[in-house]
Amino acid sequence: MSDKYDVVVIGAGPAGYVAAIKAAQLGLSTACVEQWLDDKGKVRLGGTCLNVGCIPSKALLDSSHKYHEAKAELDVHGIAVGDTTIDVPAMLGRKDKIVNQLTGGIDGLFKHNGVTAISGSGKVLAGANVEVTDKDGNVQIVEAGKVIIAAGSVPVEIPPAPVDDEYIVDSTGALEFRQVPERLGVIGAGVIGLELGSVWSRLGAEVVMLEALDEFLPMMDQQIARESGKIFKKQGLDIRLGARVTGTEIKDGKVVVSYSSTDGEHSETFDKLIVAVGRRPRSGELFSSDSGITLDERGYIFVNDFCETEAPNVYAIGDVVRGPMLAHKGSEEGVMVAERIHGKPAQMNYDCIPSVIYTHPEVAAVGKTEQELKAEGVPYKSGTFPFAASGRALAANDSDGLVKMLSHEETDRVLGCHIVGPSAADLVQQVVIAMEFGSSTEDLALTVFAHPTLSEAVHEAALAVDGQAIHIA
């Protein structure tokens, strides 16, 4: 006999678990199939984000930032802390505790909302039913009114640097070093590479980042990318652009990396090497060939703007479909799909998704970059404000970076905001709200901002768009 639900979600990451909770809250009988198991063989919820992504990386970023502050930045406040040391296993233990607390929290939310967690690997069959295979190979068919696929993504591997989990690791392995590597190589100077490189650099590793592209952070506004690059260089990250890794060799307990760049062939020796060259959708073996589901040319499950696949009654959300691979993007798609299944004409504004690099200072963005506006021929105006002119940033001894606001030349509508600076993630959210409400730059300029706050830099950048900034000459 098979079980039957209104909605069956495959995958319990931030896209899937949010979709499942929302569907259950709307009164739909809901199950969530998850294949991840903990050490005791029990189903583990939370996906990449909670287990090996957003949360553990931020726990280590926060710990390493505090260590670095104590070691190198408190003296300016007149605070002497003496010998500062780092207990790496204790730091990892704190990270694991937070991860366990949060993944256990999803268990609690499932129970509270009446979502049934099913342990096993899910596969969509024709007719939108789901075949679930558990860890012992037992197979059951779960009948679903609607299926939501939220199977996420996995790290991309590259042939010249195969992950061995000892010397060469992916982002998951980079969260588990038991001691600080003396020399750390990172392949890829994107979001994940920069965050993980920063963690170990702050703890004392000499970090060399090898990036194949000639441009640094090409998806970011290039003015902000240049400024961020300068700040990271000052912090000691050795970022080499146009460096294509051609091979690796394990020799005498070290990893030797060969790479080529315009000035020839090079090699570097590291204690550890992180491969952080991106992630790919986990779309293999997820559906039968007669299910009607299709992939796009890049291997993502093909969906329309409402996350409907080509198969009737089957949706897909999160990293497994097009769009930025971000937890909050997947979660909002989950809410939209659950509401649409329930009959509400929900939709998602893909133009207003913030993205953040959680380095220190943070780099955050929403909307169009200046280079995109130029390429699209949109008439725009821009304003910037440096944190060096912010009283609050100076008081905090945290005044690197700037806020950049981009608005439509004719309508004054805010089109984008790009920040590198203290608390950039939280600051950019103010502009996300403004953009979601269709705000003009003048609306922001006429808003009262508390003094002294970092938010004043957003206000001043909005004022600067029309040459009205007060605190900059």
Q: Are 421 and 402 in contact (CB under 8 A)?
A: yes
388, 457 Cβ separation under 8 angstroms = no
Q: Residues 10, 149: contact at Cβ < 8 Å? A: yes
C-alpha to C-alpha distance for 324 and 367, rounded to whole angstroms: 13
| 36 lines the binding site for ligand FAD (CB under 6 A) | yes
377 is in an annotated binding site: no
Q: Which one among 30, 35, 248, 399 touches ligand FAD, defined by CB under 6 A?
A: 35
Among 91, 110, 117, 122, binds ligand FAD (CB under 6 A): 122
How many Å apart are CA 248 and CA 245, to the nearest integer? 8
Taking the complex as a whole, the smallest distance from the CB of residue 32 to ligand FAD amounts, in Å, to 9
Binder of ligand FAD out of 30, 129, 153, 228 (CB under 6 A): 153
Contact 210, 187 (CB under 8 A): yes
Structure tokens given for 441: 């730059």
Taking CB under 6 A as the criterion, which residues in 48-77 touch ligand FAD?
A: 48-49, 53-54, 57
The residue within the footprint of ligand FAD, chosen from 5, 142, 144, 152 (CB under 6 A), is 152
Measured from the CB atom, the residue of 119 and 371 that comes closer to ligand FAD is 119
Question: Was 175 annotated as part of a binding site?
Answer: no
Which residues in 248-307 contact ligand FAD (CB under 6 A)? 282, 286
Q: Which residues pair with 131 in a beta bridge?
A: 123, 141
Q: Which of 12, 99, 199, 203 binds ligand FAD (CB under 6 A)?
A: 12
Q: Which residues of 83-107 are buried (b: 16+ CB within 10 A; e: fewer)?
A: eeebebeebbeebeeebeebbeebb
Total chain residues near ligand FAD (CB under 6 A): 35
| The one catalytic residue among 418, 451, 459, 471 | 451
Q: CB under 8 Å to 105, separation ≥6 — which residues?
A: none
Minimum distance from CB of 151 to ligand FAD (Å)?
Answer: 4
319 binding ligand FAD? (CB under 6 A):
yes
Are 367 and 441 in contact by the 8 Å Cβ rule? The answer is: no
State the binding string over 191-210 for ligand FAD (x if CB under 6 A, else -): -x------------------
Has 192 been labeled as part of a binding site?
A: yes
Pairing type for strands 121-125 and 254-261 reads unpaired
> Shortest CA distance to 224 belongs to which of 362, 377, 374, 326?
362
Q: Is 342 a catalytic residue?
A: no
Does residue 234 have a known ligand-binding role?
A: no
Q: Measured from the CB of residue 374, what is the shortest distance to ligand FAD in angstroms? A: 27
CA 281 vs CA 16, 34, 108, 272, 292: distances in Å: 14, 16, 28, 26, 18
Binding positions for FAD are: 58, 122, 319, 325-328
Active site residues: 451
The residue ranges that bind ligand FAD (CB under 6 A) are 10-16, 33-36, 47-49, 53-54, 57, 121-122, 150-153, 171, 192, 282, 286, 318-319, 325-328, 330, 358
Binding positions for NAD(+) are: 188-195, 211, 278
